[in-house]
Amino acid sequence: SPPTAALPLYATVQIQFDQNPEDIGMKLKNRLDGTVLFDRPTSSYGKSLAGQTTHEVIPIYSKKGEHQTYRFTIEDNNKDGLCCSNGYGSYELYIGDDAEGQPLLSGSIFDSKETWLIEVPFSSPPTATLQSQDGDIYATVQIQFDLFPEDIGIRLENNLDNTVLFDRPTSSYGKSLAGQTRNSLAGQTTHEVMPIYSKKRGDQTYRFTIEDSHGDGLCCSNGSMVRMNSTLAMKMSWKGSLCYLEVALAAKQCG
């Protein structure tokens, strides 16, 4: 018999509005078949919700046990997100009830819109990745795995507001299937693209973390001899039309 779904069959969006709720719109779409599961175009939320918090419950998950991919978009007609001169607001999306656990994704400051790609596997934890927008600058992580890619996790956070811009927890890069002795990504190189910066948002500081649940990094008896630093602090600033990146070690080297 097929396995029982380990995840709830719905997502919850919690949104705290700034002073202009009528400027905000949200949409959740199944990326595989194009089905729009939730749509609140701009002007859907009335002025009476200014400064208030509301919740939207969205059915997202199939009982058939299939991997699903969704695209969540939040937009703002005023092009400053839930932020700044119009008061502070924020949004969070949870798999299941927003009263339980940590949000899968969250945000506050953006330009005209912000889009997330949500992966909901049937038998492993869901992930969310912020998608690039026009005007953003990207970071690219190139990682050559040792023999155990499933031990590796990567995370990028904005150090100023703790927004998680990219998150791949350990086990995200596949596990060996029954009867296999080797993960298909073992020894392979992959690339991850992360939108991290907009010229309109001012100077930013980021925290990049890579972890290994086995405790020896991408190294030694398990393959590649490359040692790594577990955490990097990155600061980006603009001087004229040029972007400057400062990188500082925030943790001692492994080993």
Over the chain, what is the mean pLDDT?
75
No. of helices (H) and no. of strands (E), the chain:
0, 16
pLDDT at 74: 94
pLDDT at 39: 95
Assigned domain for 37 exists: yes
Assigned domain for 4 exists: no
Same domain, 88 and 61: yes
Q: Which of 92, 120, 148 is the last residue of a domain?
A: 120
Tokens linked to 94? 């949870």
Assigned domain for 131 exists: no
Same domain, 149 and 225: yes
Digit-coded pLDDT (tens) for 163-212: 787 788 887 776 543 344 556 678 877 777 676 765 555 667 888 888 88
Digit-coded pLDDT (tens) for 239-251: 444 445 555 544 3
Same domain, 155 and 239: yes
Same domain, 181 and 238: yes
Same domain, 36 and 84: yes
Same domain, 242 and 169: yes
Q: Which of 87, 120, 153 is the last residue of a domain?
A: 120
> In terms of pLDDT, which residue wins out, 97 or 241?
97
Tokens linked to 148? 């155990």
Same domain, 157 and 237: yes
Same domain, 207 and 148: yes
Same domain, 85 and 156: no
Same domain, 15 and 53: yes
Query: How many structural domains compose the chain?
Result: 2
Same domain, 65 and 112: yes
The alpha carbon torsion through 31, 33, 38, 44 (nearest 10 deg) reads: 90
Assigned domain for 130 exists: no
- How many C-beta atoms lie closer than 10 Å to residue 53's C-beta? 12
- B/e letters for 216-231, b = 16+ CB within 10 Å, e = fewer, are ebbbeebbbeeebbbb
Q: Would the pLDDT of 56 be above 90? A: yes
Same domain, 80 and 145: no
Digit-coded pLDDT (tens) for 105-139: 888 777 788 899 998 877 778 888 888 665 566 67
E-only strand ranges, 17-60:
24-30, 36-40, 53-59
Assigned domain for 160 exists: yes
Assigned domain for 16 exists: yes
- Which range of residues forms the domain containing residue 36? 10-120
Task: Return d(Cα 162, Cα 220) in angstroms, integer.
Answer: 33
Assigned domain for 152 exists: yes
Assigned domain for 127 exists: no
Task: Return d(Cα 88, Cα 92) in angstroms, integer.
Answer: 14
